[in-house]
Amino acid sequence: MKLCKYGTHRVIEPKEVLPQPANKISNDMNIYDNEILIDVDALNIDSASFTQIEKECSGDIEKIKSRILQIVNEKGKMQNPVTGSGGMLIGRVEKIGNSVSDKVDLKEGDKIATLVSLSLTPLKIDEIIDIKPDIDRVEVKGKAILFESGIYSVLPNDMEETLALAALDVAGAPAQTRKLAKKGESVLILGAAGKSGLLCCYESKKAVGQNGKVIGLVRNEKSRDLLKYTGFCNEIIVADAKNPTQVLNEVLRVNDGNEVDIAINCVNVENTEMSSILPVRDEGIVYFFSMATSFTKAALGAEGVGKDVTMIIGNGYTKKHADITLEDLRECDTLRNIFKNLYA
Amino acid sequence: MKLCKYGTHRVIEPKEVLPQPANKISNDMNIYDNEILIDVDALNIDSASFTQIEKECSGDIEKIKSRILQIVNEKGKMQNPVTGSGGMLIGRVEKIGNSVSDKVDLKEGDKIATLVSLSLTPLKIDEIIDIKPDIDRVEVKGKAILFESGIYSVLPNDMEETLALAALDVAGAPAQTRKLAKKGESVLILGAAGKSGLLCCYESKKAVGQNGKVIGLVRNEKSRDLLKYTGFCNEIIVADAKNPTQVLNEVLRVNDGNEVDIAINCVNVENTEMSSILPVRDEGIVYFFSMATSFTKAALGAEGVGKDVTMIIGNGYTKKHADITLEDLRECDTLRNIFKNLYA
């Protein structure tokens, strides 16, 4: 059998697709040479998926347990058949395949969180020990496989697991921000007081320096107060991200009449594309991290107003994204405390 | 009244939106200082819109005429209420507002095509002269307004109007390709034998030079023959763009086992995101020009396979995009002849 770094060698049905769109993959726990075996402690089910299952089972914990076991037995992975989504898992490295042992910075016994979706991860559950519906967490006895292309983070010793997980969940955003923002630039962050927004503000502030400007957009006074308390932004705007002319006018007001160099969209609501595009200068960058972004609204919207901007689809992965994000929590007490209080 | 370069001063209902999402805009043909008045010859209705209206009117030309007049009278613009789409128009510059006359390279009498959508262009139709359903064209007596941010192209004297329009329709793609591709790079074009694909292949070939490589992906033998005839590509692959592992393997086969630097997606079918992402090297670029692209499939897909690539949303506008595209037709007879035969 030809081994594939993306795990297609485990796809059962339909043939010739990747593990994520596959209906069924092999969860045989004898690993191939290019795989890593994980002894699983817990699944963090994607919020959309957990909510759907909870509803379907009328909130009955035993029924939820059976439904999860049924899905994993049928598909070989924990992919919600309605939402299509997965989640992540936490466990210890049990065995590392021969052909990947030199390529990974892991050793047996390391406690890791997988940063690829459960929707493509081979999984076998022996027993569900407990379910914590308030944090979408399923504690299990079980095993899983990480493919050669699979990304992960070794869980740090210096912070609570839940805190690390909350930050890792949005690790792409701050790491991408660090790559984009340059000294002296002006950066607009839409949804600045949310989980990914706060991390983007913090990274922007560090990147643009004293002569740059970070502008945070929030939707209400309460979010403004939180953002003000952090000190990450030079200017804070309270505006409706669905109203592009209002957003444009407010940005011009606080930025000496100038458009910004970069806009980063972290607003998880629809129809905020134009509010991200309009305030950006010619040849500037619009970075969409929001999963509510519509490709066509962005593409046709920019054309409609004759805006020559580069629009980037937020990639949840970039090199060292987990390290960068955990580093942010370590070096900034304000950030760490907010994450502890709100998300961990 | 405060004039806005995006034309919000003409929005009637609902308030505070841009002209495109507005239900109704003013088509009063007394222009403001920052507007351009156009004497309209013809509308090129967007294909999705025309097909919908044609169906609704059972193909009856008189009924189609009435329906178009009704829409324009109600909305002040030719925006199909079902599809939301518009199209473009052709006409002569009749009057240029005082505050924009220095900013545009236009004079009264110039024949232009507007490159912003009809879905945001104030329009008044006095009379529909003829409808050509085979090319979605509506010949009219009427007027329209171009906003300060509106983009346009002066129609060239050295080629047929229909030929120029066919090329201008996809002008963003070749112009963006010219900005992206660098000497010596390898470029994969998916949907290489289509209208935008051919232009992207041609621009790529010029950009990467002798030591670079252009790989065209097509879906069947007929398209392969057309592409081979052009000589634009170093390698041609016949594969299913919905099958990422097949596409990856074929690219590796013709590219000495290496991933490419850039992939450009011009395939107008769904579920081709992963075929564009997988063959690209670490830190390479994926450029989505296809309107069938799903934002979430691209974002989650790249993360799922741990690919650190920059994914760009195709912007239909970039500076000099019309000039670049018409230049391509002028300098390459092969391209011009194919466009004449297939699209004009």
The residues, any chain, with a CB within 8 Å of residue B19's CB and separated by 6 or more, are: B6, B7, B8, B10, B11, B25, B77, B120, B121, B122, B147
Q: Is the pLDDT of residue B131 over 80?
A: yes
Where is pLDDT greater, at B334 or B116? B334
Question: What confidence tier does A246 reach under pLDDT thresholds 50, 70, 90?
Answer: very high
Identify the pLDDT of residue B135: 82
Identify the pLDDT of residue A343: 85
Identify the pLDDT of residue B91: 97
Distance CA A44, CA A118 (A): 9
Distance CA A142, CA A219 (A): 43
Predicted confidence (pLDDT) per residue in B153-181, tens digit: 999 999 999 899 889 988 999 999 999 99
Whether cis (ω within 30° of 0) applies to the bond prior to B14 is: yes
Return the DSSP state at A287: E
Predicted confidence (pLDDT) per residue in A19-48, tens digit: 998 999 999 999 999 999 999 999 999 888
Mark yes or no for CB contact B299/A306 under 8 Å: no
Question: What confidence tier does B243 reach under pLDDT thresholds 50, 70, 90?
Answer: very high
Predicted confidence (pLDDT) per residue in A142-188, tens digit: 999 999 999 999 999 999 998 998 899 889 999 999 999 999 999 99
Mark yes or no for CB contact A20/B313 under 8 Å: no
Identify the pLDDT of residue A21: 87
Q: From residue B216, give the alpha-carbon distance in Å to each of B137, B266, B293, B296.
A: 32, 11, 19, 26
Mean pLDDT, chain A, whole residue set: 94
Question: What confidence tier does B2 reach under pLDDT thresholds 50, 70, 90?
Answer: confident
Mark yes or no for CB contact A310/B306 under 8 Å: no
Q: Which of B303, B309, B312 to mutate to test the interface with A (most CBs of A within 10 A)?
A: B303
Distance CA A334, CA B32 (A): 51
Question: What confidence tier does A2 reach under pLDDT thresholds 50, 70, 90?
Answer: confident
B119: left (phi over 0), alpha (psi -120 to 50) or beta: alpha
Where is pLDDT greater, at B135 or A52? A52
The residues, any chain, with a CB within 8 Å of residue A190's CB and separated by 6 or more, are: A197, A217, A241, A247, A263, A264, A265, A266, A267, A272, A275, A276
Mark yes or no for CB contact B310/A314 under 8 Å: no
Predicted confidence (pLDDT) per residue in A289-315, tens digit: 988 899 989 998 998 899 999 999 999
Closest chain B residue to A308, measured at CA: B318
**What is the CB-side half-sphere exposure of residue A125 using CA atoms within 13 A?**
27
Identify the pLDDT of residue B121: 96
Structural domain spans, chain A = 8-155, 172-342
Residues of B in contact with A17 (CB under 8 A): 243-245
Residues of B in contact with A104 (CB under 8 A): none
Distance CA A305, CA B149 (A): 6
- Do residues A149 and A5 lie in contact, with contact meaning Cβ atoms separated by under 8 Å? yes
Identify the pLDDT of residue B241: 96
Distance CA B252, CA A260 (A): 41
> Which residues on adjacent β-strands are paired with residue B262?
B187, B285
- Do residues A322 and A115 lie in contact, with contact meaning Cβ atoms separated by under 8 Å? yes
Q: Which of A2, A275, A305, A310 to mutate to test the interface with B (most CBs of B within 10 A)?
A: A305
Q: Is the pLDDT of residue A60 over 90?
A: yes
User: Closest to A307 (Cβ–Cβ): which among B245, B295, B317?
Assistant: B317
Identify the pLDDT of residue B15: 84
Residues in chain A: 344
Question: What confidence tier does B108 reach under pLDDT thresholds 50, 70, 90?
Answer: very high
Backbone φ, ψ for residue A84 (5° rounding): 80, -5
Beta-carbon contacts below 8 Å between A and B: 143
* A262-281 average pLDDT score: 94
Mark yes or no for CB contact B316/A300 under 8 Å: yes
CATH assignment, B172-342: 3.40.50.720
Identify the pLDDT of residue A140: 98
Predicted confidence (pLDDT) per residue in B293-323, tens digit: 999 889 989 988 999 999 999 998 999 999 9
Mark yes or no for CB contact A315/B309 under 8 Å: yes
* B217-232 average pLDDT score: 97
Identify the pLDDT of residue A16: 79
Q: Is the pLDDT of residue B270 over 90?
A: no
Task: Say which amino acid occupies B36.
Answer: I
Q: Is the pLDDT of residue B1 over 80?
A: no
- Do residues B328 and A171 lie in contact, with contact meaning Cβ atoms separated by under 8 Å? no
Q: Is the pLDDT of residue A1 over 80?
A: no
* A125-150 average pLDDT score: 94
Predicted confidence (pLDDT) per residue in A63-92, tens digit: 999 999 999 999 999 999 988 889 899 999
Distance CA B250, CA B257 (A): 9
Predicted confidence (pLDDT) per residue in B56-83, tens digit: 999 999 999 999 999 999 999 999 998 8
Mean pLDDT, chain B, whole residue set: 94
Kindly give the interhelix angle for B61-75 and B47-56, rounded to the nearest 10 degrees: 120
